[in-house]
């Protein structure tokens, strides 16, 4: 879908995505959801590595994060590709990349090189440790960045072994910082006419969740959350878990009444927590999680521990439009978490299917002034 056919608050924003894997995919997915024309540059034949990250034929990451985008097949390792990018970038507002710092500069495609051709270009780099500093060129994965940022150690009590998370903790906040940087620079450009270089570090973004801890660290260590009966998870009779969040006197009293444990009504945080936890464990173990979630008097104090599959059929999420369906398929994916409501009926989720590798190569090149003969020559030379 070209820019002229798009709707949404960013319908006139053109994004050239040179990134690879998850950080860039998350970043440009949010932009595409808001209407931006995102052209994803992928290696001919292979495509972005996100297509290969899972063994099943249904490439979940690709489907979830590349919907609503266009795909341009271009081999950046081919020296002639640099000239193609230089011609293309004149017609784009934003360039997103996630290469090692200096890699694009070696190709003649650094910020200074391209800003000379398009002074209004908004260049966003998404890297693990940022574009400068002694670790700028260090390799890593999400667990590397989450550990460096201090996030892993804060997931457990002080002194306990840090966990190996089953989800990524630094990639999404890093991508979100990229989006915020792009939109901020876009707003600034509307006033000044000048472009900008956005440097989004996954480590920096992950650290933001520890803002309070870091501020305190100069004078005292970060406190651990003590064991609390009123803030915990409990296993139920069916093996599922529920959450309890009833730390205020009023909510704790309601919980005790709902569970018929009057003997705990006078319990205070930090006093005999092990005994209170043991009592609640014995109570929750008597019924299935679903029974406790609908039990009279427990609304708000007891919540589910959902699986990804649970989310697909959750009535609250369904009513809010948090789950969407890819056009022409039965495939359901998460919608953009942002909701915008107004008289124009703004859409904030792209639902067109993710593109095949290079599906829009000729279309995009033609839009940006390449002739049929030039396109044929690039294909003959295996540049596209």
Same domain, 199 and 235: no
Same domain, 39 and 167: yes
Residue 325: inside a domain = no
Query: In terms of Cα–Cα distance, which of 258, 241, 240, 242 is closest to 250?
Result: 258
Same domain, 120 and 260: no
Residue 337: inside a domain = no
CA 298 vs. chain centroid, Å, equals 33
DSSP per-residue codes, 308-363: HHHHHT-HHHHHHT-EEE-TTS--EEEPPS----STT-------SPPPPTTTTHHH
Q: What is the CATH number of the domain that holds 36?
A: 3.40.50.10540
Same domain, 151 and 50: yes
Do residues 353 and 324 touch, judged by C-beta distance below 8 A?
no
Q: What is the reported pTM?
A: 0.91
Residue 341: inside a domain = no
Partners of residue 94 on adjacent β-strands: 15, 122
**What integer pLDDT is reported at residue 232 of this predicted model?**
95
Q: What is the mean pLDDT of residues 298-318?
A: 93
Confidence of residue 341 (pLDDT cuts 50, 70, 90): confident
**What integer pLDDT is reported at residue 116 of this predicted model?**
98
CA 213 vs. chain centroid, Å, equals 23
CA 75 vs. chain centroid, Å, equals 26
Q: Which two tokens stand for residue 179?
A: 């989006």
Same domain, 269 and 360: no
| Residue 22 to residue 26: CA distance in whole angstroms | 6
Say yes or no to pLDDT of 1 above 70: no
Same domain, 364 and 294: no
pLDDT digits (tens, 9 = 90+) for 53-74: 766 656 788 889 999 999 999 9
Same domain, 95 and 157: yes
Residue 10: inside a domain = yes
pLDDT digits (tens, 9 = 90+) for 88-110: 999 999 999 999 999 999 999 99
Same domain, 31 and 139: yes
- CB atoms < 10 A from the CB of 9, how many? 17
CA 83 vs. chain centroid, Å, equals 31
Q: What is the CATH number of the domain that holds 247?
A: 3.30.1540.10
Task: Examine the fold and report which residue of 309, 344, 366 is the final residue of a domain before the chain moves on.
Answer: 309
Residue 216: inside a domain = no
In the chain, the number of structural domains is: 2
pLDDT digits (tens, 9 = 90+) for 170-229: 999 999 999 999 999 999 999 999 999 999 999 999 999 999 888 888 787 666 667 899
Do residues 9 and 346 touch, judged by C-beta distance below 8 A?
yes
Same domain, 140 and 287: no
**What integer pLDDT is reported at residue 343 of this predicted model?**
64
Say yes or no to pLDDT of 298 above 60: yes
Q: Which two tokens stand for residue 215?
A: 């501020």
Higher per-residue confidence, 314 vs 339: 314
Say yes or no to pLDDT of 258 above 60: yes
Q: What is the mean pLDDT of residues 310-318?
A: 94
Three-state DSSP at 241 gives strand
Partners of residue 70 on adjacent β-strands: 39
Residue 329: inside a domain = no
Same domain, 362 and 294: no
Residue 327: inside a domain = no
Go through the chain and tell me how many residues it has.
384
Question: Which residue spans within the chain are E strands per DSSP?
Answer: 14-17, 37-42, 70-73, 94-97, 122-127, 196-201, 231-235, 241-245, 302-304, 323-325, 332-334
Place of tokens 């690039």: 378
Task: Examine the fold and report which residue of 279, 309, 339 is the final residue of a domain before the chain moves on.
Answer: 309
Higher per-residue confidence, 175 vs 48: 175
Same domain, 135 and 22: yes
Residue 319: inside a domain = no
Which residue range(s) make up the domain with 107? 3-210+354-380
Same domain, 27 and 92: yes
Three-state DSSP at 27 gives helix
Long-range CB pairs of 239-244 (<8 Å, 24+ gap) are 240/288, 240/289, 240/290, 240/304, 240/305, 241/289, 241/305, 242/284, 242/289, 242/292, 242/293, 242/302, 242/303, 242/304, 242/305, 243/302, 243/303, 243/304, 243/305, 244/280, 244/301, 244/302
């Amino acid at each position: 879908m070209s820019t002229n056919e798009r709707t949404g608050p960013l319908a006139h924003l053109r994004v050239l995505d040179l990134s690879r894997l998850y950080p860039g995919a998350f970043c440009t997915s949010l932009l595409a959801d808001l209407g931006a024309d995102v052209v994803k540059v992928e290696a001919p034949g292979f495509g972005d590595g996100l297509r290969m990250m899972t063994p099943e034929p249904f490439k979940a990451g690709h489907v979830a994060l590349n919907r609503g985008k266009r795909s341009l097949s271009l081999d950046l390792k081919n020296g002639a590709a640099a000239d193609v990018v230089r011609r293309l970038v004149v017609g784009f507002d934003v360039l997103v990349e996630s290469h090692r710092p200096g890699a694009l500069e070696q190709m003649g495609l650094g910020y200074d090189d391209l800003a000379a051709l398009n002074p209004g270009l908004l260049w966003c780099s998404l890297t693990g440790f940022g574009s400068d500093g002694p670790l700028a060129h260090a390799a890593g994965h999400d667990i590397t960045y989450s550990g460096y940022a201090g996030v892993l150690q804060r997931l457990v009590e002080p002194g306990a072994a840090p966990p190996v998370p089953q989800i990524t903790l630094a990639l999404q906040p890093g991508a979100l910082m990229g989006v915020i940087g792009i939109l901020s620079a876009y707003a600034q450009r509307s006033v000044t006419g000048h472009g900008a270089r956005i440097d989004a570090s996954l480590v920096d973004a992950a650290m933001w969740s520890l803002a309070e801890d870091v501020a305190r660290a100069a004078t005292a260590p970060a406190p651990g959350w003590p064991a609390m009966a009123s803030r915990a998870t409990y296993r139920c009779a069916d093996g599922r878990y529920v959450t309890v969040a009833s730390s205020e006197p009023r909510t704790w009293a309601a919980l005790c009444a709902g569970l018929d444990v009057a003997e705990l009504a006078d319990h205070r945080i930090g006093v005999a927590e092990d005994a209170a936890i043991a009592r609640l464990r014995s109570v929750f173990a008597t019924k299935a999680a679903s029974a406790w979630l609908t039990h009279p008097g427990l609304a708000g104090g007891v919540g589910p521990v959902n699986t990804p599959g649970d989310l697909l059929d959750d009535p609250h999420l369904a009513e809010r439009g948090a789950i969407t369906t890819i056009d022409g398929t039965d495939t359901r994916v998460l919608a953009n978490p942002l909701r915008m409501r107004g008289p124009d009926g703004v859409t904030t989720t792209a639902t067109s299917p993710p593109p095949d590798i290079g599906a829009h190569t000729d279309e995009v090149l033609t839009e940006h002034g390449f002739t049929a003969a030039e396109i044929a020559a690039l294909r003959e030379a295996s540049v596209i």
